[in-house]
Amino acid sequence: MAAAGTAVAALVSAAPATSAAASAPHTADARTALAAPDISVANVKAHLTQLQSIATANGGNRAHGRPGYKASLDYIKGKLDAAGYTTTVQQFTSGGATGYNLIADWPGGDTNNVVFSGAHLDSVTAGPGINDNGSGSAGILETALTVARQGAKPTKHLRFAWWGAEERGMVGSTSYINNLPSSERAKIDGYLNFDMIGSPNPGYFVYDDDPGIESVFKAFFSAKGVPTEIETEGDGRSDHAPFKNKGIPVGGLFSGADYTKTAAQAQKWGGTSGQAFDRCYHRSCDTSSNIDDTALDRNSDAIAYAVWTLGGA
């Protein structure tokens, strides 16, 4: 997640802000609960192990313009290509260095109604960025691979993205949306963002930007008996911002960064009050040991639930 105060750029859509709410079910029902898969947290953690190894082999980070970033992208692209996705690597320039976005489309579904899930893949230069944001990157990767393993045939078209240079101010996602023709922007029913979903002292925060998308995530956690709160710490600080600025419905999940967990939140979720949700936020200690497995598991399952529900899988 980008630090507070970074500039946000624009995005687009002729789709009305209520399009996701109007065109998809937003409450849990027995059929959706049965259809949505249980995402293997072991598989998600295996992806994080790979991202940690990549960082270790490339100067300790996976930052924009550094070799660890491109190696991370190549790892994810290889998995998606083997699973049958159509992948596209887009280039942009930031700070004098070439950056890359990876876009993956699952064949089929109504391409006039796109359910789009994304996460930033870059770390800061200070460390490997395993929670921020290997966690979101791995969560959507395993969801995408599960779509392929199940041979899912969703009603809507599923698209996934791994963004570059988010830590420089959402540069990659902004570049993508600004260069997407308006006719294609109008086809995006909703964009779902996942940035830091395995914080070691976690909270369970749901974006409240679009009521329809928000209700899908809240239904999932309610069914699990996990209370949620509205996400405020990351407002305007991650890759949903460029999409929202252009009128596209957005939603997502977050488990907390450098804000402090209150006593009330610790009573509700466990963990340690008076301590940051992620004490290693933007630090060298954001390694593969800086992950809460339960939060990672729950949030990965919630990603799949939303993709299956909103996508009509």
pLDDT at 166 over 70: yes
Tokens read off for 84: 């049958």
The answer, yes or no, to whether residue 228 has pLDDT greater than 50, is yes
Q: How many residues belong to the chain?
A: 313
Model confidence at 245, pLDDT cuts 50, 70, 90, reads very high
pLDDT over 70 at 222, yes or no? yes
Q: What is the pLDDT of residue 204?
A: 98
pLDDT at 15 over 60: no
Output the 3-class SS for the chain: CCCCCCCCCCCCCCCCCCHHHHHCCCCCCHHHHHHCCCCCHHHHHHHHHHHHHHHHHCCCCCECCCHHHHHHHHHHHHHHHHHCCEEEEEEEEECCEEEEEEEEECCCCEEEEEEEEEEECCECCCCCCHHHHHHHHHHHHHHHHHHHHCCCCCCEEEEEEEECCHHHCCHHHHHHHHHCCHHHHCCEEEEEEECCCCCCCCCCEECCCCHHHHHHHHHHHHHCCCCCEECCCCCCCCCHHHHHHCCCCEEEEECCCCCECCHHHHHHHCCCCCCECCCCCCCCCCCCCCCCHHHHHHHHHHHHHHHHHHHCC
**Is residue 32 pLDDT above 60, yes or no?**
no
Tell which wins on pLDDT, 250 or 236. 250
Q: What is the pLDDT of residue 25?
A: 39
Residue 143 has a pLDDT of 98
pLDDT at 8: 27
What is the pLDDT of the chain when averaged over all its residues? 91
Residue 6 is predicted with a pLDDT of 34
* 207-218 tens-digit pLDDT: 999 999 999 999
Pair 313, 108: CB distance under 8 Å: no
Which residues, in sequence order, are bridge partners of residue 94? 97
pLDDT (average), residues 254-271: 98
Q: Tell me which of 18-27, 50-59, 94-103, 228-237 is least confident.
A: 18-27
Q: Determine the pLDDT at residue 313.
A: 81
Among candidate residues 166, 167, 214, 231, the one labeled active-site is 166
pTM value?
Answer: 0.91
Q: Has 166 been annotated as catalytic?
A: yes
Is residue 282 over pLDDT 80? yes
pLDDT for the residue numbered 35: 77
Query: Mean pLDDT throughout 136-152?
Result: 98
**pLDDT, tens digit (0-9, with 9 covering 90-100), for 81-99:** 999 999 999 999 999 999 9
Pair 202, 139: CB distance under 8 Å: no
Residue 14 has pLDDT above 80, yes or no: no
Evaluate if residue 27 carries a pLDDT over 60.
no
Q: Mean per-residue pLDDT for 52-73?
A: 98
pLDDT of residue 4: 55
pLDDT of residue 20: 38
